[in-house]
Structure formats: structure tokens, C-alpha cells
A and B are shown apart, each in its own frame.
Chain A
Amino acid sequence: MEPPRTPALRNRVERLRQAYLAKLPATLVEARQGLGRLVADPLDDRALADLHRLFHNLKGTAASLGLPKISAEGAAGAETLKTLQGLAPSQRELASVLADLAGRIGYLEGLSGEETAVAPEPAPAPSATPVAARNAFDPQRRVVFLCDGDVDGEQLGSQLACFGYTFNSFTDPEALKAAVLADPPDAVVMSTAGTGIFDGVEGGLSIPVLFVSERQDFATRLKAVKAGGEAYFLKPVAAHEVVEILDTVTVRHEPDPLRVLVVDDEPEMAAYHALILEGAGMVARRLDDPARILDELGEFQPDLVLMDMYMPTCSGRDLSRVIRQIPQFVSLPIIFLSSETDKSLQVSAMRVGADGFLTKPIQPEDLVTAVAVRAERTRVLRSLMMRDSLTSLLNHTTLSQFLETSIAAAQRNGGQLCFAMLDVDHFKKVNDTYGHPVGDQVLVALSHLLKQRLRNSDMVGRYGGEEFAAILQNVSEDEAVRIVDNIRRDFAALTFKAGDTEFSCSFSGGVAGFPAMDGAESIVQAADQALYAAKHGGRNRIIGSAVAAAGLKEGV
């Protein structure tokens, strides 16, 4: 029989599934701890019962949430433990059973990524790199269906194409509906005139719908919201605004996992706490020699330091004083861990700049919460300091710092990288003709385009005014010129609206790379010269430093 699924139930189950998968790493950490208890004491019947229940719950809940692989492992693990429960303690052949369970937990940990096609990958893994590399410069085409009843749809489509979206236009809402049901696109952009066409679709529409309308009365807006609209745009629609929403609804932007440095002279404790944090999806690095703290901070760039209060070579308080003496780390949160329950000692620890004080032994979930809350806050603060407020690209200072560290890394690994400087052509004319708000739109559109078309490993910054810059990792100068030139072509194809008039913009760019240039200063200078050559050569073009230098020699 058909399950009596309504859209509301479907959404709710989907959310539950996501929540369940997000919680799975923590559940598996718990499973490993249970296993540890059994190893420590094979006669611990309570540990046995707890572990059995955990596997049994995996079996049932995962099955009812439609996650068969997880459920199967849970069932097998529960079965193994059940045979154990039936035996007298002396007869328990623990070794093989524990190996079997450890294997299942390990398999599940690996599976978290696979069975979660529906969910964000909970654990960050080194295997993420090839994925990023695969998408490099070949922006995954995302498909959007447009239905707007008039020619506007077609025009919006060509603009979306410049941002890497493939689009299909429909004039008839019924045709749109049929196409969506046959082969769902990544998103639908439609006129509010068609609100309601997806009502009554079995199982509801699971793809995001964006509405455009010339009406801004409350009733129309309410209808759009009720129809599941993710956004509502008034005509005339600015393509980059639609793109901003499309980007957020069609791409899962995986936030970088929080990074925690765990300082403890006891390697087992450090490993244990690191394991808990990793179980919650964070990246933890262990440090058992406090003397190396400054190197680690610089290299690992943690969002938070978790530190044992009492260590033989130096106390946590002294160590945090050392950290606080470096301006860059003044706001880095430090949490102390100690079995100290004396409040006055805790207070004195706070006085030297600790942000929290946790008492050992700590519950895994308490540790995760305490760390996550503070680390997230640093993230936000840091991002506010590092980014340009209009475009939210990196600011000049930050990008320059990244250039230095990227070159140092490339020097170490024998890699290559490029630096591109871009400048919007005749931008002053845009501002003077149409006003600054329109000029800002152009800058925001370009920043979107750059963010979207460059890889995650690349860094994009607003260098100042109408000048942008990007660091492209692991590409030759020729490749970088080609990549930036593609972006240039698409940017030039965008039309901007200012009142009733439409206009287009272009940008020029210069590219220089390491190892051809060997320091940050010389790369920036070479890119700047190449940019100058591009401007001089007639604008709306990208020139590499090699070509620019050759041209200079020939006096062209």
C-alpha cells in the first residue's frame, strides 16, 4: 500500500533524516566508548546492554528513516551482541565479537558520507580534495526552469547563463509543471501568476521555487510563501539578486569544519578529547609538547585552543599568557580543562584570559557544545574583520596575507599559483552616469561571478574601489589567463538596469604567477603591470605577465 505521505510529512521526515545523519558521528563515538567499556571489563553487563540497545536503535530508526545500509549494520551488530548476552560471562569469546563490532562501526563511519547523498557530509575527510579538483573550472551546470509568461523570462535566462546556470524557458505554466515532474531541475523561477500550479503534486515539490511579480500586495506575497516560495522578487528583476538566492538554494555551501588545537601532556587524554570533537565534525589537532604551541598556532590556524590546566613543563595559565602576547591571537578563545573544582582557582584562570573552564571528566556533549559555541563566535568575528562589507570578499590586507602564506606553501611543496588583478573598465563613468547604488550593483555582480566561478581553494578579494584580485592555486599562468578570460567574457555579457536604461560593463585583468615571480611583492607588481598593459591595449582583456613583459621589450 502507498504510504500516506503528504508534503508536510515528507518535509518533516527529510528534516529528521538530516538530523539523524548529523547525529550519527556522535552516536558512533558513543558506540566506540561502549566498546571501550567492554574491552576494559568483559563482564560489564550494563555496557553490553547499552551497546546492544545502541545497535538495535540504529537498526530500527535508520530503517524507518529510509537508510537501509545503516540499518543493516545496526541489525548485524545487535545480533552479534545478543548472542553474547545469552552466554555466561566465562564463555564469552570477546575478541572476535569486539573485532566484528569495531569493523561495523568503522564501516558506518566511512558510510556516513555515502548513505547521506541526501545530507551534508558530517565528517570532513581528506578525500574532499579530489572532489574539489574535479569541479575545478568546470562549474557544475545547474539547471533552472523559468516561467514568466512574457519575454522577460528569456532575458533573465541569458543573464543566468553568465553565472553558470543552464535554463529552460516555458510560457505555459502547465508545460512547466509537466517538465518539472518529468525531470526536476535544480530550481524554478516563475511568475506569481502561476502560483498554485504545484498544489496537489503527490509528495509535494522538493525543489526550490523563486517567484517574480509586478505585484507587491500582501495577498500575493502570502500566496507565494504558502506555495513554498524561497524568495520573492519585484519586477524588474536584477539578475545578480536572483543568482544570490539561487546560489544559496541550489548549492550546499559546506562550512569549513571548526578547527581545535588540543594541548595536553597526556597523549591519551588529548586523543580522547580530539576523538569526541572529531566525532562532532570538527578538525582537532593534538599537541603534547607545549613548547611547540606558537608553531602550531601559525600552521594550523585553530578557531579555539583546548588546554589542560596542569602540565609538567608549563601551566595552562603561563601558556595562555604566551599566546596572548601575540597580537594575532589576542581574541583566540582558550578553554581550560582540569579536574580542578575550586572556584577561586577557576576565577584566577579566567583572569589570564581563559574563555572557559571545563571540569574533567567531562560529558562528550558538554565538551562539544562548549567548544562549538566559542569557536563559531571567533569565526564570525574573524570573518567580519577579514571581509569587505559591500561584496563580502576578502579585504586587501587579508588577501595580501594569504598571498604570502600561499607562496610560502608553494615554495615548500614545489607547487605553483597565480595572482590575478582585475579592474572594472570605465567604472567612474558608471558611477557618474547612473549613481553609486548602480555602481555598487556592478561590483556585487562581479564579486558573485568571481566567487562562483573560481574554486573553493582559490581566494578572491576586493583590492579597493573597483579593483579585485584573486589567488588561483595550482595553475600555470596560461591556465589562469584562460580561466579569468572566461569570466571576463561572461561578465561582459551581463546587462545592468538603471531605471529604464540598460548597460553593460567589462573588466581588464593582469595575471602573474609563482614560481616565475618569486615573492609576493614581485608577483603583485608583475600582475599590476600586466593589468596596465591590458588597459593600455584597449581594455576588456586579460594579459599574462610573460606577454606583458615581452610586449614591453618590443616597445609595443
Chain B
Amino acid sequence: MRILVVDDDALAAEMTSAVLEDGGCDVVAVESADLALVHLAGDADFDAVVSDMNMPGLSGLDLFRTLRGRGIALPFILLSGDDPAALKALEPGLDACVAKDADLEAALMDAVADVLLPGGD
């Protein structure tokens, strides 16, 4: 699995990458939604995007909508310090929405498994 991680906070990106790599994924991390778009335009070989919500410039949600607007249907997991259920309600098209809290490790890997291994139990 190759995953694009988007987070303006380098430490947070590193944390997300640590969890994903521990789960056996290859990770490329970028620090803004703009850079994510550049990467995705030049390199189609990603299995999913894991993006932070709150970033300067384009937010995680903006990134999601821009991708879908360009017809890119890559699985998209949004990370946020806010209530994930509210964000999912706001944008039901998101594949998953995970809270940045103490359970991030478990919740993120669960979400990745759900999104990337459909039908797996």
C-alpha cells in the first residue's frame, strides 16, 4: 500500500507516517494540499490519501473536493482535531474521518483497513 500523507505540521505528519509504516504501508508525506495536488498529478501510483483537515490555504476538505472535482476517486481519509462524525455528516463522500486523539493509532489503521480492504472482516 502506498499512501500520501498531507499535514502542515511536520510532527503530526511524522506521527501519521509512523502509524501507517508500522502497519506496512509506504508513505509519502507532503506539507500542504497544493503539494498533494502536484504529487497526485505527477504520480498516479497511490492507494489512498490521508490528510489533515486544518491547514493554511486549502483545507483537507478543500483538497478532497478538488480531487473529486477532477474525477480522482482515490480513497480519502480525513484527520481532524474536531468531531469526525460532524465532518463526515458535512461531507458524506469521505471514505473515513478519523479523530486526532489518543486513539489515533488504532483508529487510523482500522480506517485504512476498512477503506482499502473492502469486505475484509
User: Interface of A with B (CB < 8 Å)?
Assistant: 1-6, 8-9, 12-13, 16, 19-20, 23, 49-50, 53, 56-57, 59-61, 63-66, 68, 71, 74-75, 78
Contact = CB atoms under 8 A, between A and B. Distances in A.
A9 B106 contact: no
Given A23-B11, A57-B9, A64 B18 contact: no
B18 A56 contact: no
B11 A56 contact: no
B9 A61 contact: yes
Interface in B33-83: 52, 54-56, 79-82
B95 interface: no
A63 B101 contact: yes
Contact of B106 (A2, A59, A60, A63): A2
B109 A60 contact: no
Contacts of A56: 54, 81-82
Interface in B64-112: 79-82, 100-106, 109-110
Nearest to A7: B22
Nearest to A59: B81
A6 B20 CA distance: 12
Contacts of B1: none
B11 A63 contact: no
23 contacts: A3-B106, A9-B18, A13-B15, A13-B105, A16-B15, A16-B18, A20-B11, A56-B54, A57-B9, A57-B12, A57-B81, A59-B81, A60-B12, A60-B52, A61-B15, A63-B81, A63-B102, A63-B104, A64-B104, A64-B105, A65-B11, A66-B102, A75-B81
The 6 closest A-B pairs by CB, nearest first: A60-B81, A60-B100, A64-B104, A9-B22, A63-B101, A3-B105
A4 B101 contact: no
Given A9-B19, A13-B18, A53-B54, A60 B80 contact: yes
- Say which size band chain B's interface belongs to: 20 to 34
A394 B19 CA distance: 46
Contacts of B56: 49-50, 53
Of B23, B56, B81, chain A has the most CB atoms within 10 Å of the CB of: B81
A4 B15 contact: no
B98 to A, nearest CB: 10
Nearest to A75: B81
Contacts of B80: 60
A65 B106 contact: no
Contacts of A1: 106, 110
A1 B109 CA distance: 11
A50 B56 CA distance: 8
B6 to A, nearest CB: 14
Contacts of B114: none
Of A6, A20, A50, A57, chain B has the most CB atoms within 10 Å of the CB of: A57
Contacts of A13: 15, 18, 105
Contact of B102 (A16, A23, A50, A64): A64
Nearest to A11: B18
Contact of A3 (B55, B100, B103): B103
A22 to B, nearest CB: 10
Contacts of A3: 103, 105-106
A96 to B, nearest CB: 24
B22 A6 contact: yes
A16 B100 contact: no
A57 B18 CA distance: 18
Given A57-B54, A64-B101, A4 B106 contact: yes
Contacts of B9: 57, 61
Contacts of B55: 53
A369 B80 CA distance: 32
Nearest to A6: B22
B106 A64 contact: no
A184 B52 CA distance: 37
A3 B110 CA distance: 10
A12 B18 contact: yes
A9 B104 CA distance: 13
Contacts of A71: 101
Nearest to A49: B56
A105 to B, nearest CB: 18
A2 B109 CA distance: 11
